[in-house]
Structure 1
Amino acid sequence: MTTTEHTTEHAAEFKVLAISGSLRADSHNTALLRAARKHQPGGLALEIYDGLREIPPYDQDLDTPADRPAVVADLRRRITEADGLLIATPEFNYSVPGTLKNALDWVSTDWTREEGLPLLRKPVAIMGAAPTNFGTVRAQLALRQSFVWTDSDVVVKPEVHLFRSYERFDAHGNLTDETSIALLRDLLTALKQKMAAAR
């Protein structure tokens, strides 16, 4: 760890759990999360979650504190402990990828009414990248709809839709488009404001 990295981490005011809805190794959405960590406005400790592939299909019979798969219990804990959530989603069939929706289903419940709801009033920022001309507009809309049910505190503006995403990253997965970087920074600033208000 360099001195700069150590200083940034030490000065962090808020913990943000970042989730990519894509499992692809070269995903632009995962690269977008790395860009968020690089271009954040300061004060954020951003952890990129890498367990999405391991989460099993939602099963209500197993959705109890005693029976949940360990990977699910871990995700619920991480979201609960985080000050905010940052999600980068691709768009599949005009909607959210099933793997991402499945993970959110696992963390949206409290059948015992004793644990608490990890997503309740949790500050959330949504963004996405796609190679198409319309980006992830429909996927983000579907995701926002899910967060209405969980009563999460979702950032409304700015909207970060990286359409024709292949034009905005270099060959190494670095975000190079200055307009996208500025929007990303503004989104994280808005998320930071919500997290501050929630304290």
Structure 2
Amino acid sequence: MSVRILALVGSLRAGSHNRQLAEAAVKLAPSGAEVALHEGLAEIPFYNEDIDVEGDVPAAAARLREAAAGADALLLFTPEYNGTIPAVLKNAIDWLSRPYGAGAITGKPVAVIGTAFGQYGGVWAQDEARKAVGFAGGKVIEDIKLSIPGSVVRFAETHPADDSEVVEQLTEVITRLHGLAGEPAAA
């Protein structure tokens, strides 16, 4: 049985370094694991209980919930916007938190990592994302952390998948999350 890890990226920008980091994670998944990059966060309307009606949930939100329900764990990649989590990622978490107490991520292991331009690599945004995921019912893995600073300079001419330090750290993150998702990582 393979462990499915759903990856959500909090940046919509085509050249996003966090998206590149997520693409690297897809390639680095260990044997027995699959990292699936979810597309379509931009199409999900802002969460509103009035449109979260059973049988009539907006299609993009329903696809997100279905993808999360089918995952064994989640891996969130977040940049830092004005010292906090991007709206698109927070909105995804809000949709995944419902129905209250029985959302698609309830009890699932969730790790939050990312890269940002600043000297701390987006730790404030990552902390905010962990907080939101915890309230949403996810089992936040607090000790899985990866904050890569200086993204604009570090990845100006190098894809994260070609940075040996990043590859080593990202592989460790995925391997640990894989193990926590219910199946020991292959050696």
TM-score by length of structure 2 reads 0.90
RMSD between aligned residues = 1.8
Q: C-alpha distance in 2, partners of 1:44/1:108?
A: 25
Segments of 5+ residues of structure 1 without an aligned counterpart are: 1-11
Corresponding residue for 1:38? 27
Q: C-alpha distance in 2, partners of 1:174/1:63?
A: 37
Residue identity over aligned pairs, in percent, reads: 36
Task: Say if 1:183 and 1:174 are closer, same or farther in 2 by CA, change over 3 A.
Answer: closer
Corresponding residue for 2:176? 190
SS of residue matched to 2:161: coil
Q: C-alpha distance in 1, partners of 2:16/2:55?
A: 34
How much does 1:196 deviate? 1.1
Instruction: Give the letter for the 2:17 counterpart.
Output: H
Q: C-alpha distance in 1, partners of 2:63/2:29?
A: 25
Corresponding position: 1:70 with 2:56? no
SS of residue matched to 1:103: helix
SS of residue matched to 1:185: helix
How much does 1:168 deviate? 3.7
Q: C-alpha distance in 2, partners of 1:41/1:92?
A: 31
How much does 1:170 deviate? 5.9
- Rg: which structure is higher? 1
Corresponding residue for 1:9? none
SS of residue matched to 2:47: coil
Q: C-alpha distance in 2, partners of 1:42/1:157?
A: 23
Segments of 5+ residues of structure 2 without an aligned counterpart are: none
Q: C-alpha distance in 1, partners of 2:59/2:22?
A: 25
SS of residue matched to 1:184: helix
How many residue pairs match? The answer is 183
TM-score by length of structure 1 reads 0.85
Corresponding residue for 1:154? 140
Q: Is the 8 A contact 1:170 1:176 kept in 2?
A: no
SS of residue matched to 1:127: strand
